[in-house]
Structure formats: structure tokens, C-alpha cells
Structure 1
Amino acid sequence: MRATLRWAHSDLRTHRGEALFIVLATAGIVASLLLATALFGYATNPWQRIFTQSRGAHVWLHTVGPADTARLSALDGVESVAGPYATESVTVSSRGTRATVELRATPSRPSVGRPLLTSGHWLDPRRPDGVVLENRLARALLAEPGDTLTLPGTTRALTVVGTADSAEPRYRPGEQPGLVWAPPSAVRDPGGRVIGLRLKDPGDTDYAVQRAVTVLGAGAVGEVSTWQQARAEAQGDNRLLGQVLGLFGLGALLAAGFAVHGAIATRIRGHLRDISVLKAIGFTPGQVVRIFLLQHVAYALLGAVAAALLTQALGAGVPGRLGDAVGVWQGLPGHTVSLLAVPVGAVLFIGAVTGLAAWRAGRVPPVPVPGGTGAPGGRLPGVARRALGPRLLGLRLPPALVLGSHKAFTRRPRTLATVGRLALPLLLIVVAMSAWTTIDRFHTSPERLGLPAALTVRADRGLSDTATRALLEHENGVRAVYPGVEVAALVPGQTATIALRGLGTHDDPYPYALAEGRPADGPDEAVAGQGLLDLLDVRVGDWVRMTVGDQPQILHIVGRSIEPENAGRVISTSLDTLRENDPRLAPTLYQLRLRPGADPHQVAAALATAGHGHLDVHTVTNPADGLSPLRAVIAGLICVLALIGLIELLTAIGGTVREGERDLLALKAIGLSPRQVTAITVTSTTCTAAAATATATALGLPLSHWLINTQGRTSGIGAGIATTPSPALFTLFITAAIAGAAALSTLPATRAAHHRSADTLSAVA
């Protein structure tokens, strides 16, 4: 044991930098995997907890006009019913912020879909103007118990008496109205009713929706929302962050395993004589294997423990969503198991690849085999001998350049393994750069990713269409105004609702971002999001039939648009097309494109002031806003991957220097100076790094496009959002990889070139 520890200590002193990089890389990998686990728990658990505690309804049906909702409780598979509750759509304002909300007449606290109070108290019959706000709506309005909400354009006012969590779809400005529970007396102009169905089997949701719509009649159902939609929306970007962290964490763990395997294999080749001596003095093959195995498992264990302790102690203090996710995750029942399982799994994986490489050390014979590590000293290949001549292929090339490049690719299996191990972390860096560029493109060019409009405006009944458009076009920052309507439509089979949107006119069409097909510029033509195509199992070129109230609408899908809203479940056409079926249809919203340089918030404030309370103006939500934490995550992952690449690069440099000791005497004998000998090693390392960088770029670009577009397709936005990093960024990446390899190899190559002849003779003896 003492000899084993002395060997390990000696090896640690010789390879301090490599040991430090292994510890840091392992810590980064384990930390990223722990954060991914926290984000997955944060994305799923809060909504699931609320849904369970509130006995949430699996289906919510919004009806228009009279409908016999009492028959729904008798449907097969329905366990219990919430409501029906009368509803009224209004706009409320608090502290200068406006929001469209649904006032829900709730005479008593429901048992199904029961709101979970977080502050204040429930509705009091003695307070006819008291209301309870859903938490996300309350945060948007900066409202808390005791505040007063005004209804612009009226003399009505509501008092907030409490806030509550709900498992229903949450408030999204301009898309999903906020939920307000109110006494029946506060709902003065009901526009419909809502009823919730709690099912015995959540898997029968689609069938239950179909049966409910059949019972009520398609014309009576205005909108359907299900628990799957609410859960997917609640998970939102947190799940995406977890997927990105998990994907890169696993990729980095694989790269680190290969790097450790390569480091041990290279070290074994360079210490064959030492290992033989160990065996000659009595070390068994198992003891030799344990030396390498325990040493590298100790490095991995140190990094894993450090990552677990830092994540546990400081993770909740990270500002933003990551800190919130860790804080919630630490309170979940499976937190302790995950905190132990992830580091243990990472250490076991690194131990497995370490044992595989160390097993080769145990097979080294006690008597070294001459010439096993390289070509006999002094013999140079034919290409090398010709390179020392005055000309090669008509070009006068420096001998160091030719010899170095030849040395890099002489041993094909070993060279390919080295290039592959170095290319893996570089490939993941290319993928990370592509993800960063795609997020940046959402911010800088939203119109190319389905967000040409910066503001959404809704006018109340006090303004006509003509007056509204004149008011909007008069604002200096507005470049174009597109009138439109958006209604909920029942899909064929009546199992779900989608958003049917009519924007722009034939003369002034809305500039959709198309990824496939062509614009909808003819009668009954439309473009659809990926989520709708997947939901209906249709493709571009198909005709689809949907129902708006009791009015059927048949449209020809001629293109696929990049659609970031409503999970891509949107079919869009022009307002003129919708007016062909209903000439009385009037615009209910206006999408505004702004002039270059115009600030959306300033324009929104100016329009709200000019509208004198008749305009409800919202900035269009950019999906990239929720992905801001991803930039910091990507930057950290790039650092971890760079550490792994550095480990592999140092391994390759060490192997090249040790293998070059056999040729050192021959190179000096034919007249090469120490500087030229140094250049041979630097050139060899640079060629290896260049080959790895070229491989990473050639494979990383298509892989990153596939991964990003696959994520876009599964989220409903659709493929076609992946962006290639700029040439300047690629040039910086390639230059840093190749120049870094050359710089790192210069010092050890210089030391090796100045070795004394006696040292070299002892090395090859």
C-alpha cells in the first residue's frame, strides 16, 4: 500500500495540471446535471402539486349562449363537475397596468378546481365588490389584498381581497385572459359560462371532450382547455432549460470519460518501463490497475463532492430562475436521492472508463518489449527523408513543417482516436454556439422567427375600427397596422380548440415568417403552425375543416409558419377571408409593426395616453425573454467543455513529446536545430487540433441544426429556427483552438528538444 501511495503521489506531482482539470471538469459536469435535475423538478412539481391539492378539473369548457350543462355530470368517466359559472370579459387597471381578465361568478368556494389562497381571504358575501386574483395576474398588475382595480371606460371598481394559485391556464398578456373569482353580483354582463370536468381517468381526456361537445352542441362551445395544455404551459421554458442542461451535461460526461481514458492510455504507453519495473519487484496486475483506477476515481470523487456541496449550499442563492428552481427542488421528497445519485453515477461512469484503460496497464509484461512504443530510433520514413531535400512537390517547405505533419498522422488508429476524443468537446461547443446564436436571433430579428409585430392593441366598444386605425397610424413610431380577429375554433373530431386568426388584408397582407410552402394570398388559403399540423395530422397542401360556434370554416393550408404562440396550434389567414363567411365581422385586435429604433414600451405608453383609456396595449411576448438564463448556462457549459478539451490536448502533447524522444538523436544528427525539433512537435500538435476542429465543425453544424429544429418541432414552434453562428465567431473559435494547441505545446516541446544526449539515450535504452 505504501508503494502504491508513493507512486500515486509521484504521478500527481508530475501531472498536477491534468489532475486539477479533471477535478474542475467533473465538478462542472456534476453541477450541470444537478441543475438539470432541479429544473425538471421545478418545471413539473409546482403545477402538479397545485393540481392535486386543488382537485383540479381535467377539462374546462367555455360555453356561449344557453347550454344544458347539467347533462355533463352524467357522462361516463366524469367523476365530478365544477360550475357552471357565469363569466364576463373585462379590462382592469391597477397602478397604470392594464390586463384583460375573466370575471368568474363564484357563489361559494368550489370543491373541484379549488383556488389555493396565498394571501388575503376568500370572497365575503358582505363585500360585493371584493375579488380574488390568480397569482400570475396579481403579479402582472402589481396588486395585493386591499388594492383597488378600476375598469377603464366605466365607473366600476373592484377591491382585491385575496390572491390564489390555480392549475388552470395562466395569464399571458394579449393571449390568455387572467382569472378573477368574483361574487355573482360583480358579474353584471355575463357573456358565457364555464364548467370544469374532473375525470376518473385522465387518459380519457380527448374522448371526454368529444362527448361533452356532442352533448352541448358545437355551436354552444366557445373554447376548450385541458390539463395537458395547462401543464405544458406551466412547465414552459424551465423544462427546456433542464433538457439543455441535461443534454450538455451527459455529452460533457461522455467527453470527460473519453478524455480520462485517453490520458491513462497515453500515460501507460509512456511508462511501460516503469510499469514493468513495478511488476518485476512484486506488484501484481491487480495492484497496477488499482493504482490508476483509485487515483482517477479520487479526482472524480473530489470534483463530484465539491459540485454537490456547492449546489446544495449556494444553488438557491443564484439570482433568477435557476436559484428558484434549486430552492423548490431542495424541498421535494426525492431531493436527497437525486443529490446522491447524480454524483455517484458520474463517478461510476468515470471509474468504468478508467478501469478499462487501466486494465491495459495490468497486461504489460514484466520485461519490456523493445521497440514497442515507436519506430526504432534514427530511422525516418521516406517522405521525411525527401522532405529534408531542397524541394518537395515543387514547393520549398521547411523540414519541421513536413516532419511535424507526417508525425501527426503516422499512426492512424492512435491518431484517429486522439482526433475523435478532442473533437467531441469541440463539437459540443459548436452546438452550444449555435444555440446561443439562435437565442440571440430571437432578440435581434424577431420578425424572421414569427414575431413581426411588436405591439398588440385591443380597442373597447367606444372606438370604431376607422377611428382606431387612424389613432394607431398617427403615432410616429408605428410603421404598419394590421387589423385582425382571433377566435377559438373546434378541430375536427371536437377534441380540442385551436386559435383561428385573421390578420391583414389581401391588399396589405400580414408578414408571416414561413418555413415551408408559400404565403396565403388566395381565397380560403391559410398558413398553420407546427403544433396545429401535428394536432390534426395534416401537411401543407391539405384542406382542414373547423367550427367557430355553429359556423364551419374550411381552409386550404398552403404554408407552415414559424408560430411561437399557443404552442403552434394556430391557423392564420387574412381578415378578408374570414369576412367572406361573415361580412359583419369587425376587427377586435390590431398588430403593430414599429419603425426601426422605436422603443415598444414608449410607443405603448404613448398610444395608451392618446387612446384616453379606450386602448389596451401590450408588448408581444418574445419566447427568448424566458430563455435569458440559458445564455449563462451555455457560457458555463462552454467553459466546462473547454476544460475537457484542454485535458485531451495536454494528453496529446505529452504523448507526442514522449514518442518524439526516440527520434531526437536522429534529428539532431542530420543537422536539425533544437528550434526546428521544437517546431516538429508544435506542428504535429497543431495538425491534430486542426483536424479535430474541422471534424467538430463539419459534424457539429448539422447536429446543432437538427437538435434545435427538433426542439422547435416538439414545442410547436416548428423547424427552421436554427441559426448558424456568424463567420467571425467561427473564425474566433477555430483560431482559439489551433493557436491554443500551438501555444500549449511550445513549452514542453522546447524542454524536450534541449534534453541532453545522455537523457535521450536512457529514454530509448
Structure 2
Amino acid sequence: MFALAWKTLRARKASFAGVFVALLCGSAVMTASGVLAESGLRVSVPAERYAGARLVVGADRTLRIPGGDFTVAEPLPEHRPLAARTVHDVAAVPGVRTAVGDYDVEVAVTPVTDRSGAARTTPSSGHAWDSAALAPLRLTDGHPPRSRDEIVVESALARAAGLRTGDEVRVTRASVPAVYRVSGIAASPAGDAWKRTLAVYFTPAEAARLSGHPGRPDAVGVVSDRGTDTAALAAAVQRAAGSGTVTHGGDDAARIEFPDVGASRDLLFLVAASFGGTAVLIAVFVVAGTLALSVGRRRREFAVLRAIGSTPSQIYRMVVAESVLVALIGGVLGCLPGVRLAEAMRGLFARFGAVPEDLPIVIGPAPLAGAVLLTVLTAVVAALAAARRPARLNPVDALGEAAVEPATLPGWRRTLGLLCLVCGAGAAMSPLYVRSEVGAAGTGSAALLCVVGLALLGPAVVRVWVAVTAPLLRRLPVSGFLVVANTNAGLRRAGSAAMPLVLAIGFTLTMVYTQTTLAAASERQVDQGLTADLLLADNGSGGIAPAVADEVRRTPGVAAAVTVTDTKVFVPFTVFEDKDLAGFSARAVGTDGLTRTMDPGVVDGSLKDLRGPGTVAVEHSQAELLGTGVGDRLDVRLGDGAPARLRIVATYERGLGFGDMTLPQEAVAGHTTEAPGRLLVRAEEGRDPADVAAALRSLAAEHPSLSLLDRKQFADGARAESVLNAWINFTGLAVILGYLAVSVVNTLVVATSARSREFALMRLVGATRRQVMRTLRLEAGLVCALAVALGSLVAAVPLGALGTGFLGSPVPAGTPAVYLAVVAVAVLLGLGSVAVPVRLALRIAPVEAIGVRE
């Protein structure tokens, strides 16, 4: 069968050109997704401070709970220190020469005297000098720190801050500055400057004090005896360190040294999985439509085969074999552009700040082989669907149906199409009941389901559209009649041509306006609910210490200053007897003066009851989703994985602006990596906020890491993660739209090129070239108008529900220019993709074109 398929491909190159393009582009998108996914599993950066350690032990930053037949895992946003005994237990393992505990303290460094004439504050990390042996570092000048007011500065930081031995430097920890003297400058033995680390080294006692958890290091580095087997040593060290820890060696130690590497790996994998799933679904959709057109061009061929005795199985096998051969060629050739696409996407993610600039991608054989395999499977699925009708036709009816497409849809298409539309409509309604980003996520799925449903019902939809527009078209003397007749005779062709445009319009509008609506809703909620006049934020010193917060409260004119810590809370839940985890954005707040600085729109209960570590307030729709309410107990896992049982004291409606959950600071004490990062400040009644701001600026001058922000910047901070997710989504959307644009052009060119004999016949019976062009332009315009109408409807339903749920209006937020631009691009693609092949076809003499083999 493959030999026959190969001969068919060689004889009908034009028929399979469109399928080849669709599969090649699909392979490129799948390859990019696979490369990003593999990078999320394997990529790393070289260790720097732990470059000389054989192994490094750190806290496990993954929350795992038994989930029935599998274990549910979620990355934890907060770090927790190791147990006090860990250094001793690891040091006792045979083969370990030295075990050194390392404190990782976020600090900001400001030269007291800056030789450049302007003091610059540089975010850095602080450590104990004994952990310098893990790099290892050597002193290039000066001596180790001998007293609590001495530090050693790593060479990269010394250059960045302009520091020399003997200089005084202000080191700020949790917004509290202290003056130290630079006792030495240190560098790696090779003299290479670190690319990611700007470090200062304190005495061990001072580093432990600044960490806030003396005796409990953040990591333990292991220097082993020579000749020790690394794998065996790692297993022994892991057993000694105990549960809740992980042990890494080599470049994997960077996952402990640089937490952003681990977070970025998880992000890459999750984005690739989501993006890849959508890409595969769209690829199946596009390839199925293109292959259906290709098979449709060969109706007479299949009719003859059925009439001379070919069995349905033989027709299926032939079409599948042809598709597999085309998919293998297109899949392999699509791998190289797919790799380049993955590199471009990683670059964009780095520009948005989603991944570090120096985080590379990994290109291995697995993603390439997987992309080829998925391309082949996509082609097989599409081929089975396309070959169904020619394979199942009665041999007697086959030749009769070869001339005209069937007028009715098979029952399975009607049923499945209606089911997709119903499911899409149901998903579109989710923002009415869940007023959070979880509910908003249903809009994209709704649009995709609706397009799939419309594609399945395509011929019926086109028939209705033609019936509606026929009275207007028939007013045109010749072209209008031909448009109506041609479209009715080729309903499947018109449907296949319109649906990629519908998908492009509907999916683009839904994704773009979803983000603009969420942004507008968040800003509105913050504007309505933020009653604080000013905002103080820490920049790179590990938060705001309680003493600094008290100093702000004592500032003349300040009525209330409420601390705010951004974190995350996980809630285990059960679905069909299987456990799962739901993550919720959360804010821990100081409760004194809370109601004077924010009003999240309480629906039930009271924020005045939000006191003590066992209480929580929950966004109202999320509480309903969890089946809880005021007075109920909620079992949660905090940001570091620690379990907690919280009593719900209030529910509120402004979750986009103020988080899904609000907890008192006492509930997260000891469970967050940093101290509170912001202070909401309310001026006293009758005091001008500008006067209070001036006083706070004077205070901030004494604390180099503090900055004074306005209310709008609070809204920006509230949606920082959402905005980042939006840019990531837009990157994936841009790739998918590029694929859809190619698919639209490809599909329309294939559909139009297949009609060259029809154009020749029209000219032979008396139609002029201008009349043929006018007819085809009208047909293309009819298809584009249908696509615009359906695409707009596909977007309007979920966006209307989104706007109603979040803004109280069915009109989504955002400029109409986006809609006009999307429609204009889609129409230009549609008209251009028809005009070019028609002009090329009309260059051939009608007598020659009519004799061209199908």
C-alpha cells in the first residue's frame, strides 16, 4: 500500500502540496513546544557559589500529596530553612570531608562614599564566610571578616558598586541599614567573574543573625573525599538529610543556589504543555480541513475505485498511507524551523522577565522525534476522518456522488458539532460564577470548542448563510447567480475555507480582550477598594522589618500603616475520589488599621474578625466553588507547604485587586521567604497626603531600599503575575496565529486552485475573465463575511459573559481598534489567498485548462 501511495504522491504533487504545508508548519509548532518542555525538565545554569561542592542539600520546594492512583505535585513559592541538625547529620556520612551550612540572605548594598559621585544601591545576597569554601573563593585583597562589622565582597559586586578594601558600605537587610567595613575582596580561583551572583560575606554569627533563623541554614554544601562515588554518596546524604529535602550535584546544584532556575524550569514545562496541547488540537483541525479538500479533489478517482471493487478498508489504507508519507516528510523538515521558533520564544520569555536571560534551551532528539510522531498521528486522524465518506459509499452511488457533494451532513457530525457548541457555551458562562482568573480561563476553551462545533456543522452553516444572503446576491446580473449556485454546490469546500478564518478571528479576539477585561476589572477593584493614600515598598533587601513599620506608624500624620505580603495558598480537594491541589493568590496583612486602608468588598462576615493565625477571608466565588462559607474551616497548605486549618471569617468580591485569599500576618509568620514587602499608609483625617508623603520620603532616605509609590502602582503590583502570564499567553497566541495565518492562506489557495477546470468551463461557455474574477471575489467576500460573523459571534459569547461577570457590562474592555485590525487582517488574507491563484489559473488558455487532469 505504501508503494502505491508513493506513486500517487509523485503523480499528484499539487493535490498534496497544501497538506504538506499544513503538516510542516504543524511540526514546527509541535517541535517548539517539545523543545521548551524538555528544557523545562533538563535545562540548568552553571553553579557559582556551589561550584566547588560535590553535593548540595536544600529544602524540597515541591508540595506533594497522594492523589489516588498518583501523586499531585505543585511548586512552592516560599523557601524554608533546613533543620538545625542537618549539617551534623550530613557531616557524619562516610565519604563527606566537610559539610558547610549556607545562609542565603537578601540584602541591598550602598557605598557610604561613592567615587562616581552618586550612591547606588545594589541588590545582593549575603552569606557566611565559611561557605566561601564551597565556591571556592580566594581573597585577592585584604583578610576575612573578623568582627560583626566587617564583610568580604565578591569581585563582581566590588566592581558593580565601586568598592575597595577599607571602604565603608551600608548593607540593608529588611529595610534596616547597618554600616560595615570591607575587609577583603574575593574571587574564584580561575579569576572568572560570576555572571549571576553579587555576594557579600559576613562572619558566620552575623550571617545567622541576619537570616532570622540562626542555626537553621538554607542549604548545606558537601565537599567529599577523593574517589568517592557521587551517586552512592548522594543517596547516603539524602537519607541523612531526611524527608522534605533534596540533594543535587553538578549543575543541578543551581536549582538550590538559584531558585529562579527551578521556577523557570517549571514555568517552561507548564507553558509548553499548555501551548503544545492547544497547538496539537489546532493542527488536527487545520490538517483535517486541508486533507478534506485534497480528498475532495479526488472524488472521481475514489468513485472509480469503489465501482471496480475496492473495499472500504483499501480506501482507508490508501488515504492513511499517503498521509503518513506526507507527514513523515513534512514532520522531519519542520523540526529545524521549530527549533528556531523555540529559541525565539525563550528570548521573548526572557525579555518579559518570565525566565532568566542566561537560561538556555536544551535541544535533544526526544522533542524532534515526538514532533514527527505527533505530526504522523495528526495526519492519520485527519486521514481517517477525510476518507470516511469515499470509503463508505455504495459502489453504485459512488460515481453519482463524485460530481456533486452530498447535501446532508452525517448524523455523527451533527451530534458532535452540537455537543461542542453546548460545551463551549457552558464554558463561556464560567466567569458569571467564578469571578477570578480561574473563571476567566474558560473563555479561551469556549472559543475553541465553539469553532470546532461550527467546523463540524460547516456545510449546514454555509447553507443557511447562502440562503440569507441569496436575495441580495441575485440582484447582481451574472456573478450573483453564479456565487449562489457555486457555493450551494460546494458547501463543504466553502466551510473548509471559512473555518480557519473563524478560528483566527474568534480565538484572537477572545484571548486579547480577556486580558484587557481582566486588567480593567483589576484596576476598577483597586480604585474602588484601596482607601490607603500612599504605598511604601521594599526593593531588594528582603522586605520591611517590624521596627521599620513601627517607625512609619510613628511618622506625624500617619493614621494607619498596614503590612502586605504576597504569597500563595494551596487547598487540597477531591474529584471522583482523586486528590488534587488548587492554588490561590493570597495576601497576608497586618490587621491593625486594615479596614482603614482597604475595602475588598465584603459580601459576608467582617474583616474585623480577621485576627489570629487561624483565620482567613476568601473571595466569594472561590468560597462557593470550594463549597465553604463564613464559619467553615478550611484545610490549606501555606506557601512553604506547611499545613494550616483556617476559619473563614469573611468573603469578599474584589479578588482580582486584592487576591483570592487574605490572611493575617500571624498566619504566615515563619512561612514566607521574605518579610512583608509593602506598607499601605493612610493619612489622618484633615491631613494633606502630600505632607505625609514628604515626611515618608525623608524616612525613606534613611532606608535606601524603601521607595514611595502611588495608588496606581499598587494596582500594577497586584496584577504583576497576571500581566506576566498575559505576555506569556500572547507569545503563544502569536505563534498559533502565525500558524493559522499560514493555514488560512494554504487552505484557500488549495480550495481555489482545485477549481481551474471550473474556471475554464465558465470561460468556454461565454464568461469573460472579468466576470470570472468578479464571481470569485464575491465568493471570497461571502466566505470572509461568514468568517467575520461567526468569528465575532464565537468571541462575543464568552467575552459578553466575562464582561458581565467582572465589569457588570456585556461589552468587554479594550479598544475597538483591536477588533477592526483583526477583522481587516483576516479579510485581506482571505481575499488575497483567493485572488492570486485565480489570476494564475486564468493565464492558462481555457481549452488547455479544461483538459488538465484532476
Q: Distance in 1 between matches of 2:280 and 2:24?
A: 12
Tell me if 1:265 matches 2:255: no
- Match for 2:820 among 731, 750, 753? 731
- Match for 2:721 among 623, 646, 667? 623
Q: Distance in 2 between matches of 1:634 and 1:410?
A: 35
**Per-residue CA distance 1:384-420 (angstroms, 9 max, x = gap):** 9xx99xx959995666446535644566666556555
Tell me if 1:243 matches 2:273: no
Q: What's 1:374 paired with?
A: 404
What's the secondary structure of 1:195's corresponding residue?
coil
Aligned letter for 2:778?
Answer: T
What's the secondary structure of 1:468's corresponding residue?
coil
Aligned CA distance change for structure 1 residues 759 and 186 (closer, same or farther; 3 Å): closer
Q: Distance in 2 between matches of 1:754 and 1:741?
A: 21
Aligned CA distance change for structure 1 residues 132 and 19 (closer, same or farther; 3 Å): farther
TM-score of the pair, normalised by structure 2: 0.55
Aligned CA distance change for structure 1 residues 91 and 467 (closer, same or farther; 3 Å): farther
Q: Distance in 1 between matches of 2:782 and 2:760?
A: 21
CA apart distance, 1:266: 1.9
Q: What's 2:57 paired with?
A: 55
Q: Distance in 2 between matches of 1:130 and 1:30?
A: 53
What's the secondary structure of 2:399's corresponding residue?
coil
What's the secondary structure of 1:369's corresponding residue?
helix
Q: What's 2:32 paired with?
A: 31
Q: What's 2:512 paired with?
A: 433
- Match for 2:331 among 297, 300, 310? 300
Q: What's 1:340 paired with?
A: 368
Aligned letter for 2:270?
Answer: Q
Aligned letter for 1:97?
Answer: T
- State the superposition RMSD in angstroms: 7.0
Contact 1:39 1:326 (C-alpha < 8 Å) held by counterparts: no
**Per-residue CA distance 1:668-715 (angstroms, 9 max, x = gap):** 67xx7654554443333343344444444444577799999xxx9xxx
CA apart distance, 1:326: 8.9
**Per-residue CA distance 1:511-534 (angstroms, 9 max, x = gap):** 54x6x8479676659974679979
What's the secondary structure of 2:57's corresponding residue?
coil
Q: What's 1:583 paired with?
A: none
Q: Distance in 1 between matches of 2:790 and 2:86?
A: 65
Aligned CA distance change for structure 1 residues 160 and 231 (closer, same or farther; 3 Å): same
Contact 1:86 1:187 (C-alpha < 8 Å) held by counterparts: yes
Q: Distance in 1 between matches of 2:88 and 2:626?
A: 31
CA apart distance, 1:613: 1.4
Contact 1:21 1:644 (C-alpha < 8 Å) held by counterparts: yes
CA apart distance, 1:12: 4.2
Matches within 5 A, 1:550-565: 556-559=649-652, 561-562=654-655
Matches within 5 A, 1:174-323: 182-184=203-205, 193=214, 195=216, 235-236=262-263, 239-240=266-267, 242-273=269-300, 290=321, 293-308=324-339, 320=351
CA apart distance, 1:303: 1.4
Q: Distance in 1 between matches of 2:493 and 2:768?
A: 28
Contact 2:562 2:681 (C-alpha < 8 Å) held by counterparts: no
What's the secondary structure of 1:54's corresponding residue?
strand
**Per-residue CA distance 1:195-238 (angstroms, 9 max, x = gap):** 369996999769xxxxxxxxxxxxxxxxxxxxx99999765466
Q: What's 1:509 paired with?
A: 597
Q: Distance in 1 between matches of 2:385 and 2:721?
A: 46
Q: What's 2:669 paired with?
A: none
Q: Distance in 2 between matches of 1:444 and 1:688?
A: 39
Identity score, percent:
16
Aligned CA distance change for structure 1 residues 299 and 485 (closer, same or farther; 3 Å): closer
CA apart distance, 1:251: 2.3
Q: What's 1:688 paired with?
A: 783
- Match for 1:468 among 546, 555, 566? 555
CA apart distance, 1:546: 12
Q: Distance in 2 between matches of 1:132 and 1:490?
A: 35
Aligned letter for 1:484?
Answer: V
Contact 2:154 2:185 (C-alpha < 8 Å) held by counterparts: no
Q: What's 1:150 paired with?
A: 170
Aligned letter for 2:402?
Answer: G
Tell me if 1:500 matches 2:588: yes
**Per-residue CA distance 1:707-748 (angstroms, 9 max, x = gap):** 99xxx9xxxxxxx9x976543212321232234313322344
Larger mean Cα displacement after TM superposition, 335-344 or 730-739: 335-344
- Match for 2:121 among 79, 94, 97? 97
Q: What's 1:571 paired with?
A: 663
Q: What's 2:438 paired with?
A: none
Contact 2:32 2:339 (C-alpha < 8 Å) held by counterparts: yes
CA apart distance, 1:153: 5.8
Aligned CA distance change for structure 1 residues 294 and 369 (closer, same or farther; 3 Å): same
Aligned letter for 2:597?
Answer: P
CA apart distance, 1:501: 0.6
Q: Distance in 2 between matches of 1:629 and 1:454?
A: 28
Aligned letter for 2:39?
Answer: A
CA apart distance, 1:297: 3.1
Q: Distance in 2 between matches of 1:664 and 1:339?
A: 49
Larger mean Cα displacement after TM superposition, 641-650 or 92-101: 92-101
Contact 2:561 2:679 (C-alpha < 8 Å) held by counterparts: yes
Q: Distance in 1 between matches of 2:752 and 2:365?
A: 40
- Match for 2:562 among 484, 487, 497? 484
What's the secondary structure of 1:591's corresponding residue?
strand
Q: Distance in 2 between matches of 1:340 and 1:194?
A: 48
Aligned CA distance change for structure 1 residues 757 and 12 (closer, same or farther; 3 Å): closer
Larger mean Cα displacement after TM superposition, 693-702 or 434-443: 434-443
What's the secondary structure of 2:58's corresponding residue?
coil
- Match for 2:738 among 625, 630, 639? 639
Contact 1:487 1:500 (C-alpha < 8 Å) held by counterparts: yes
Q: Distance in 2 between matches of 1:271 and 1:491?
A: 58
Is there any run of 5+ residues in structure 1 with no aligned partner, and where? Answer: 75-81, 165-177, 207-227, 377-382, 474-480, 576-586, 595-602, 713-719
What's the secondary structure of 1:255's corresponding residue?
helix
**Per-residue CA distance 1:14-47 (angstroms, 9 max, x = gap):** 8867755653453244224423432454499999
Q: Distance in 1 between matches of 2:7 and 2:569?
A: 74
Q: What's 2:414 paired with?
A: none
Q: Distance in 2 between matches of 1:528 and 1:115?
A: 47
CA apart distance, 1:150: 1.6
Aligned CA distance change for structure 1 residues 704 and 19 (closer, same or farther; 3 Å): farther
Is there any run of 5+ residues in structure 2 with no aligned partner, and where? Answer: 62-78, 90-98, 112-118, 189-198, 219-236, 246-254, 407-461, 539-543, 572-582, 637-644, 667-675, 684-691
Q: What's 2:92 paired with?
A: none
Q: Distance in 2 between matches of 1:531 and 1:118?
A: 53
Q: What's 1:169 paired with?
A: none
**Per-residue CA distance 1:231-280 (angstroms, 9 max, x = gap):** 99765466445433432333233323333333333223324456789999
Aligned CA distance change for structure 1 residues 263 and 134 (closer, same or farther; 3 Å): farther
Matched length: 648
Contact 1:119 1:162 (C-alpha < 8 Å) held by counterparts: yes
Q: Distance in 2 between matches of 1:734 and 1:71?
A: 62
Aligned CA distance change for structure 1 residues 408 and 723 (closer, same or farther; 3 Å): same
Q: What's 1:174 paired with?
A: none
Contact 1:498 1:569 (C-alpha < 8 Å) held by counterparts: yes
Contact 2:153 2:200 (C-alpha < 8 Å) held by counterparts: yes
